[in-house]
Amino acid sequence: MSEIKVRSSYLSHFFDCPKRTLVKIFPEIKEEYNFIEPPRSIGSVIGSGVHKGIAYALNYKDSQYEPKISDIIECSVNEVEEIVKNKVLWDAITPNINAGTGQIEKIDHTFYNQSYRKLNPLRIEHSYSGKISLNSAKINLSGTPDLINKGKGVDIIDFKTGVALANYQSQLGAYSLLYQTNEKVKPEKLMLEFYPRVRKTKEVEPSFIEYDRIFSEKNAYGTLIEISRLYDLFTAEKDPDYIPANPQSKLCSPKYCPCFGTDFCKVSKIKRINESNR
């Protein structure tokens, strides 16, 4: 039995299309099929830039100085400029680097004005891992919460950007399980700070979300059980057609999914029947 590596960040999107996510988790699938990885979306690139700036700012909390907002923005923009040297998938909200830079400035300003001074970091982007055996799979779960924060208790906080607020309960639930395994302390709160990526004319209105810890942990655990079940199924059958695919997913397109059009996922292999052939 080989060990399978599961990142906490895979869990929240797992049921959007298990087949797409399992490609990341089962290395033997990647070896067997020639997937062409689509370019990164500009949304995820902006997310990386914002995270870089936030981590830079939070690291100043150890010192008696406050970082300048211009330095935070520079840190974020540098990260994005570096990534877009490779091909990225621009979209209608962020069609070019100028639009992206403007969005980063707004998001970083909003974080700085509405959140930064309220935070009290214990650990910033600290990686945790833990092992768990489920069915016949040995799962090595890992995760890097953006922030372990000292509030009334210890809180786990993740920062997200995007066009629309999505739900990350299983990801935060996995962080919570990993935190308890490693630190032997239960976190008080699982929090999400969401900063929308908006067009030039709009303001960034952040959302500050608290998830139910127990529900989130159980949701993460249940998703891991499902991953291990599919691992057993795939190992027994050696046939990818048994792995559930969701062609209704918004990411079911060659633009976003490396499986599209391959023998690993045959959802695009449909025949159109002409009236004359019926």
In the complex with ligand SF4, which residue's Cβ is closer, 221 or 256? 256
Interacting span for ligand SF4 (CB under 6 A) from 26-34, 86-94, 195-203, 258-266: 258-266
Q: Is 252 in the site for ligand SF4 (CB under 6 A)?
A: yes
Q: Is 20 in the site for ligand SF4 (CB under 6 A)?
A: yes
CB of 25 to ligand SF4, least distance (A): 13
208 in Cβ contact with 193 (< 8 Å): yes
Q: How far is CA 42 from the centre of its chain?
A: 14
Q: Is 41 in the site for ligand SF4 (CB under 6 A)?
A: no
CB of 26 to ligand SF4, least distance (A): 13
Torsion of CA 51, 206, 177, 150, to 10 degrees: 80
218 in Cβ contact with 226 (< 8 Å): no
Give the H/E segment covering residue 194: strand 189-196
Q: Computed from CA positions of residues 97, 103, 106, 108, in that sequence, does the dihedral angle turn out positive or negative?
A: negative
- Determine the angle formed by the axes of helices 169-183 and 213-237, rounding to 10 degrees: 100
The single residue among 11, 17, 73, 119 that binds ligand SF4, judged by CB under 6 A, is 17
The single residue among 246, 255, 272, 276 that binds ligand SF4, judged by CB under 6 A, is 246
Interacting span for ligand SF4 (CB under 6 A) from 68-76, 166-174, 231-239, 241-249: 241-249
With H, G, I as helix, E, B as strand and everything else as coil, classify residue 23.
helix
Interacting span for ligand SF4 (CB under 6 A) from 15-23, 193-201, 214-222, 225-233: 15-23
For residues 161 and 243, what is the distance between their CA atoms, to the nearest angstrom? 30
- Percentage helix, strand, coil for the chain under 3-state DSSP, each rounded to 5: 45, 20, 35
In the complex with ligand SF4, which residue's Cβ is closer, 75 or 257? 257
Q: Is 29 in the site for ligand SF4 (CB under 6 A)?
A: no
Q: Is 178 in the site for ligand SF4 (CB under 6 A)?
A: no
In the complex with ligand SF4, which residue's Cβ is closer, 19 or 52? 19
In the complex with ligand SF4, which residue's Cβ is closer, 115 or 249? 249
For residues 273 and 178, what is the distance between their CA atoms, to the nearest angstrom? 52
108 in Cβ contact with 77 (< 8 Å): no
CB of 38 to ligand SF4, least distance (A): 10
Name the residues that contact ligand SF4, by CB under 6 A: 17, 19-20, 245-247, 249, 251-252, 257, 259-260, 265, 267
